[in-house]
Structure 1
Amino acid sequence: MFSALLAVSALAASVAAQSHTSLSPAQITHVITVANNASATNGSNVFTPQVVNASLGETVLFNFTQGNHSATQSEFATPCIPAHDTNITVNGFDSGIRPAGNGTAITQLVVIMNPDIVNTTLWFYDVNTCGIGGVGVINPGNVSATLQTIDGFTRNAERLNGTGASSSSAAPSSTGGSSGSSGTSSGGGSSGSGSGGSDNTSAAAAMRVVPAAVLVLALIAGGALIV
């Protein structure tokens, strides 16, 4: 009798395992809970988990359970700006601010891993906590090859303090440095050359004037010049 019960239990476990592993991609959902961060200076717990790997046809569900947060897709270099604002070819997902209260107004945002995005790393952030690390990623891919990690993305967000001004602040600095360097070199050379040319002309004119003045004085002294 006991052995028969063991056999039935083993069969049930086997069936359960088979039904779990035979789930179609459309039946698999990865849930990211979106709630308040653990402290006022750390937003790493806004998205739990922060990193999700999802395959073709699977679903990523953002479950807003607490606080006022968003799930907004962005780019790695500009973590606090909507992706479409920095790359018009990307129509990234954006939940907008979801006021969930204290679990009293729970809502969801569904992102399905369709063929057009499944092989793309999807960085995302929360509008209200991006500057303190309220960020996450779907399918980070080969981070060893890209050197783009969740830690690096978090540092970018914190460095920009949630302003997302990477492209707007870095570009003038880069452009200004290049322009300034080039301008200084070119302008300095041009200015130096122009200044040198002006000095030489003045010196030549002085050399022409001095002998003439000496000649006039000599003629007057010798009585050869009639005034």
Structure 2
Amino acid sequence: MFMRLSAVLLAACTLAAAQSSTSLAPAQITHVITVSNNLTATNGSMVFSPQVVNASLHETVVFNFTEGTHSATQSTFAAPCLPAHVSNSSLNGFDTSLRPAGNGTAITQFVIVMNPDIVNDTLWFYDQATCGIGGVGVINAGNVTATWQPLDAFVRNALRLNGTGATSSAAPSSTGGSTSSGTGSGSSGGNSSGSGSSSGSTGAAPRLLAPVLALVPLILLGAALVL
């Protein structure tokens, strides 16, 4: 009798333990990216802190908007400051749009779950307000298999294509290009053509007078013999 009761108690304890273990959710890892104002007006590297996150399957990435007005918008490595679908129509990237958080008075969060469809992708992202000064980041940069595309190269792309340096250097280049093109086909071409026409008419007169001048001595000699 005692042994039968012990067996029943042991079975009950085992069942309770099994139920308890199955009811507990597995521990989930959450990566928090704080989105706030950059420290200086010329450097956007502190908008996302941290800028680089490595997240595994079923882990979550939380963008925590705590200060200023910023966004977390997915892009591509080649076009850092454009939404992903603009440069690659096959990508339907995440986009929080600009979120005003004030000075911690309107904190909001945006959560990304690393599901199987994205966990093996590299997720480049940027802030619409500060991308041109380096307000960019990346999730799983190490998953790039074809070529290594580190964050610093991504930042350089953002500065080169959309930053103040790119704007100041690109504007004269663009203007110079159109001016050069216009000058070549218009002003320069016209001047060149006009100069050619002018020099052609000036050079034609000597060529026409040369035979006449060559006959002058003969005419004078003939006149002298007649006389």
Class of the TM-score when normalised by the shorter of the 2 chains: 0.5 to 0.7
Q: Which residue of 1 aligns with 2:133?
A: 132
Provide Cα deviations, 1:66-87, integer angstroms capped at 9, x if missing partner. Answer: 0000000000010000001111
Q: Which residue of 2 aligns with 1:60?
A: 61
CA distance in 1, matches of 2:133, 2:69: 15
The structure where strand makes up a greater share of residues is 2
CA distance in 2, matches of 1:51, 1:143: 14
CA distance in 1, matches of 2:145, 2:117: 23
Q: Which residue of 2 aligns with 1:106?
A: 107
After superposition, the Cα gap between the structure-2 partners of 1:131 and 1:104, relative to the gap in structure 1 and judged at 3 Å, is same
CA distance in 1, matches of 2:163, 2:111: 25
SS at match of 2:142: coil
Q: Unmatched 5+ residue regions in structure 2? A: 1-23, 178-227
CA distance in 2, matches of 1:136, 1:72: 10
Please tell me the residue identity of whatever aligns with 1:104.
T
Please tell me the residue identity of whatever aligns with 1:73.
Q
Contact 1:66/1:101, CA 8 A, preserved across alignment = yes
The normalised TM-score by structure 2 is 0.61
CA distance in 2, matches of 1:55, 1:147: 19
Contact 1:59/1:112, CA 8 A, preserved across alignment = yes
Q: Give the C-alpha shift of residue 144 in structure 1.
A: 8.5
CA distance in 2, matches of 1:47, 1:86: 23
Give 1:80-99 correspondences, 5 Å limit.
80-99=81-100
User: Percent of aligned positions with the same letter in both sequences?
Assistant: 74
SS at match of 2:38: coil
How many residues align? The count is 187
SS at match of 1:101: strand
SS at match of 1:37: coil
User: Higher Cα Rg: structure 1 or 2?
Assistant: 2
SS at match of 1:41: coil
Contact 2:120/2:143, CA 8 A, preserved across alignment = no
The normalised TM-score by structure 1 is 0.61
Q: Which residue of 2 aligns with 1:217?
A: none
Provide Cα deviations, 1:115-136, integer angstroms capped at 9, x if missing partner. Answer: 1110000000000000110000
